[in-house]
A and B are shown apart, each in its own frame.
Chain A
Amino acid sequence: MKPSLSIRQLTKQFDSNLVLKGIDLEVAAGRFVVLLGPSGCGKSTLLRTIAGISDPSSGGIWLKDRRIDAMPPEQRNFGLVFQTYALFPHMSVEKNVAFGLEMRRVNKRDIAHRVAAALELVGLADYAKRLPKQLSGGQQQRVALARAIVIEPDVLLFDEPLSNLDAKLRDTLRDDLRALQQKLGVTSIYVTHDQSEAMALGDEIVVMKNGEIVERGTPIDLYRRPAYRFTAEFLGMTNVIEAKLRDRACQLPWGDVRELENPSERDVEGVAIRPEDLAIEAVETDHHGVVEQAMFMGAATHYWIRAAGKTLRAITSGGRTAILPVGQKVRLVPPPMLHLLRAHHPLQEVAA
């Protein structure tokens, strides 16, 4: 059983800049947790602090019962995969993969055996003798992955590993990575700014902003029932609409009344309607808005609808319907239940 990881009250200060503001995070054994946030939110700093290549200013990190935050990175037994691959350019693929085992003084026969198995696992068995520069970006990242898993790490850490790859390769490697993690069952923390990557990979997503955790949950929970507007907007597209709240229901600007999923919410910033949940019907009279722009994307058509003084987005899927022309009058059909979004207020910066 792989151990769990606990992070308590972790802060990191660069000069007078507090980049991590007291992070508390529990990662259960064998879970795949994705840290998601815009650039500069502190997610990479958090990951590097967990790996030990950056020191926290205060707070602690525990691997099960063992406190590890003062331990140098070479004693932590964590595998780290970098955005830049970070392969050793002067070593062949197999030497790169063997490096961590040599550091652990594994005997030569076992090294050869385990390196071959790891390269087999990432589909690069035929590339053992090559130098990193003779491989494509995707292959290099597979080598980096093999190098990280061959040491049988307690925790696998990923720092935007797919960001340097082109779109098609990114999808393939992403699927392989998920399959591999599930097979190995290694506790994993994955940093990305790409919401689709986060949803595809994570058992759980931790949304970060300005050095703090906004909220965490399963991809479905965060997508369908985010607590905060920031989460709703960062995780996919959403329409945030100011609606009149009435008891357990709300009235939308164009008159429709809908029940609320979470009527007791306070400090509300609006209701969320995902574009794919907002249906549109072409009408001649009694319209709510007009089509401002339509974009055919193949599997779906994206519409920009001008209604109630703002532009809303709607997505219709399926290939049977005709595409509505720009200027077409439409009725908006929101889903039966709506979800309130809370405003997120950043923590006050702690004086140094």
Chain B
Amino acid sequence: MSGSKVKTATLLLCLLPGVGYLLALFGLPLVRVLSGSFTERGSEGPTLATWAELFGNPVYMDGLWFSLWLGIAPTIVSLCISLPLSALMQANETSRKLFGTLYKIPLVVPGIVAGFLVLVILDRGGMAGRLLAPLGVTMPRLVRDDWGAGAIIALSWKTVPFMTLIIAGSMAAISKDVLSAARTLGANHLTVLRRIQLPLAQPGVTAAVLLSFIGSLGSYVIPSLLGPSYPLPLSVHMFSEGFQQGNWPMVYAMGTLLSAMAIAVLLAYYAIIGSLSRNDTARG
């Protein structure tokens, strides 16, 4: 009896560094945020008032959807650039060297600098506008526009190198012989990408999508610089609720909602990927 107790104690002690670290730095703050969301400014007891206010206020709800949009759109845009880029980098040594250097440039530029770059170039009266004006082309509104195009461009610009780094890495791990085998069996470059490279690089693509989505979803600097004045993403609301209004229960509720949305979107993503990859392993 006491022997098994000692065993359990030893086990717990062994787990402590890893699990304890997770509990202290991840679990506790999460519990604090979650419990904080069930309080109300000025009172102590548990209440649903803050949640009711969050869901009841159309300004916040528009903010939630805009946050999701800012999470998903740059992820899709970057994926459309990173996937072909990663595949091209596998094609031969020359393209690997060329793209391999170019795509890393945005890695070393801080987000706020990227934001200002987009502002300077794409804003009405910016560099692009002035260059195109003599040709009679008027730039569409890209900065502080309703769809957040400027913010999406800046976020994508920042995300592409990270995504390419991860996806190109997992594509480079695929045996060259496997790709050559597909070619000799009759697959062109595009089919090899679709049938071989993408499914085999899928864990890398998933990691890249996850990192990009979470990063863009919670971004603050770029949407406040380049995004529209309405709606504001939840991240911007969280800042003003906390630091300008002192409404911390609302900050907690918004944080919880944003995390829950992130989890929901990722679960949906996994479901789609799962059903796609089942096509090839099972008999079609």
Contact = CB atoms under 8 A, between A and B. Distances in A.
Interface of A: 48, 51-53, 72-80, 82-84, 86-92, 94-95, 99-100, 103-104, 108, 129, 131, 144, 147, 151
Contacts of A88: 178, 181-182, 195-196
A151 B277 contact: no
Nearest to B178: A86
Contact of A73 (B178, B184, B199, B280): B184
Contacts, number: 81
Contacts of A86: 175, 177-178, 180-181
A78 B281 contact: no
A243 B191 CA distance: 62
B186 to A, nearest CB: 3
A151 B186 contact: yes
Chain B CB count within 10 A is highest, among A48, A103, A104, for: A103
What are the 3 A-B residue pairs with the smallest beta carbon separation, nearest first?
Answer: A103-B186, A100-B185, A86-B177
B280 A78 contact: no
Contacts of A89: 178, 200
Contacts of A51: 180, 184
Interface residues of B, number: 23
A80 B180 contact: yes
Given A53-B184, A72-B188, A131 B281 contact: yes
Contact of B200 (A72, A73, A90, A151): A90
A95 B178 contact: no
Q: Which applies to chain A's interface (DSSP): helix, strand, loop or mixed?
A: loop
Interface of B: 175, 177-178, 180-188, 191, 195-196, 199-200, 277, 280-284
Given A74-B185, A76-B184, A95-B280, 7 more contacts: A75-B186, A82-B177, A88-B178, A89-B200, A90-B199, A94-B283, A103-B185
B186 A84 contact: no
B185 A53 contact: no
Given A73-B180, A87-B178, A89-B200, A147 B280 contact: no
A129 B200 CA distance: 19
B200 A74 contact: no
Chain B CB count within 10 A is highest, among A91, A99, A108, for: A99
Contacts of A151: 185-186
